Amino acid sequence: MGATYIPTAWKSATAQQIEDALSSAVIRHIDLRGLTASDISRRYPSIRLEHLQKLRRGEALGFRMLSSLAEAVGLRVKIEVTP
- Average pLDDT on 25-51 reads 92
Rounded to whole angstroms, the Cα distance separating 4 from 35 reads 37
The answer to the question of residue 77 being in a domain is no
The answer to the question of residue 21 being in a domain is yes
Average pLDDT over the chain reads 87
Residue 46 is part of which domain span?
13-72
| Percent of residues, the chain, with pLDDT higher than 90 | 49
Domain total of the chain = 1
Q: Which residues contact 34 (CB under 8 A, 6 or more apart)?
A: none
Q: Confidence band (pLDDT; 50, 70, 90) for 46?
A: confident
The answer to the question of residue 22 being in a domain is yes
pTM: 0.80
Residue 35 in this model has a pLDDT that exceeds 90: yes
The answer to the question of residue 67 being in a domain is yes
The answer to the question of residue 2 being in a domain is no
- Average pLDDT on 44-68 reads 90
